[in-house]
Homo-oligomer: A and B are copies of this chain.
Amino acid sequence: MLAKIFIKPKKGILDPQGKAVSGALGRLGFGRIQEVRIGKYIEIKLDDQDRSSAQAEVRRMCETLLVNKVIEDFTFEITGE
């Protein structure tokens, strides 16, 4: 199975990268941008297993290693493929 994890900077926390990219998109003529936030996208291929145990496992991975909870938020989903 495949876990897809989406990590982004917490609300209110400065995102210098997002700010710079938003400026660049503006200069390129993309006019309708209000805000850009940049985080990480992680895909983890797991051995097949019961979905709820996978869910618990991936959450633990996020909380122990993948996500810096001081400055980041995350969500994830688990798909069959």
Chain A interfacial positions (CB closer than 8 Å to B): 4, 6-8, 18, 21, 24-25, 28, 30, 32-47, 49, 57, 60-61, 64-66
Contacts and interface: CB of A to CB of B under 8 A. Distances in A.
Contacts of A36: 42-45
Contact of A41 (B6, B32, B61): B6
A49 B32 contact: yes
A3 to B, nearest CB: 9
Contact of A42 (B28, B39, B47, B57): B39
Contact of A45 (B4, B21, B35, B41): B35
Given A35-B43, A35-B44, 13 more contacts: A8-B41, A18-B42, A21-B66, A24-B65, A32-B46, A33-B45, A33-B47, A34-B45, A36-B43, A36-B45, A38-B40, A39-B40, A40-B40
